[in-house]
Amino acid sequence: MSRSFTSIATLTEVLARTLESYQIDSREVFESMGLSAEPYKNPDARIGKETMEELWLEGERLTGNPCFGFETGLNFHATNIHAVGYAWLASSTIREALERLVRYQHLISTAAEMDLMEDANGVHLQIDPSPGIDLGDDASFTAIITMCRDLSHAEFRAQSIHMMRPEPPCSRKLAEFFNCPVEYNANLDKVTFSMESVDEPLTRPNPALAQASEEVAREYLANMDKKDVVARARVAIIDQLPDGEPSRRGIAGELAMSERTLARRLSDRDYTFSSLVDEVRGQLAKEYLRQSRFSVTDVAFLLGFSDQSNFARAFKRWTDESPTDFRSRTLQ
């Protein structure tokens, strides 16, 4: 199924700052691509993948820097990713921030998929970009670490980094910046964190701001692409969960389509209705349990479970631990 990939226009502010550091007029560059002189001034605008690729290539050409992508990531700030960035800055742990980044990734760009996984070796943020220019992918690695340091402390580092790209000319500088083992020509793009580093409590959590920012992000996703049934269904499911078990009929009605059409369009994206509900619940459960203001019973209610025991069984299936054990471990 063909799909048009887009990125939020506020990302271009980072490109502008990097170009200006080379005394290059970013306004002229943007206008040469058919954009406004300051495309980042419109927080709701989006830019097509092809145009973004042209911008990356033009930045590399004008600066003469094959590591232009990595350098741009160093200039990244959480506020460049709309409401997701404000939710990131209000998070209580790095893990919570990463979960929000993954949950609302399509607000930032639909041209890549991110997933957060955990095993005995650590917590892994895997990035699966669509085929295209590597410079944007390069920027994502330095941007992620830059944002983590802005949120935590200047010495924060990942446990390891794996990049599919060949070793770049700036690998020595990158080794100094990342301050952790970096593997090039890897079989996947991945940043691995230690569990201790992502679960360490941060000093400036703001649950109310995080919740308000997430509401803005959900509304943005709902309006971003009326054809993106998964994004729209996620928002509808999140809204309906406090009222009980979401029904396929109810969600289909909310999306103004038949149950059969909803099932077919979810299937086109490798989802069933129940698997999508399960995924949304699992993501929200971990976030709610990290907020001490919610009891386990509250979380069960917020996720639409009829009782706490049903929630506990589901959570055990998602994480292989009980809600109480998860909360005790993450709130230490």
Residue bearing tokens 């670490």: 145
pLDDT-derived band at 4 (thresholds 50, 70, 90) equals low
Whole-number percent of the chain with pLDDT over 90: 65
d(CA 97, CA 213): 12
Q: What's the pLDDT tens digit per position in 27-68?
A: 999 999 889 999 999 888 899 888 998 999 999 999 999 999
User: Region 167-171: what's the mean pLDDT?
Assistant: 96
The per-residue pLDDT for 232 is 81
Q: Give whole-number Cα distances, 123 to 105, 118, 282, 303, 318, in Å.
A: 18, 4, 16, 24, 15
Beta pairing partners, 113: 128
Phi/psi for 178 (5° steps) reads: -70, -35
Q: Are 12 and 29 in contact (CB under 8 A)?
A: no
The per-residue pLDDT for 172 is 97
pLDDT above 90 for 8: yes
Whole-number percent of the chain with pLDDT over 70: 96
pLDDT above 70 for 82: yes
pLDDT above 60 for 161: yes
The per-residue pLDDT for 270 is 84
Q: What's the pLDDT tens digit per position in 277-307?
A: 998 999 888 878 877 778 899 999 999 998 8
125 closest CA partner among 113, 133, 117: 117
User: How does strand 182-183 pair with strand 160-162?
Assistant: parallel
60 closest CA partner among 104, 24, 114: 24
Lowest mean pLDDT among 41-45, 193-197, 212-216, 311-315: 41-45
The pTM assigned to this predicted structure is 0.72
Higher-confidence residue: 294 or 276?
A: 276
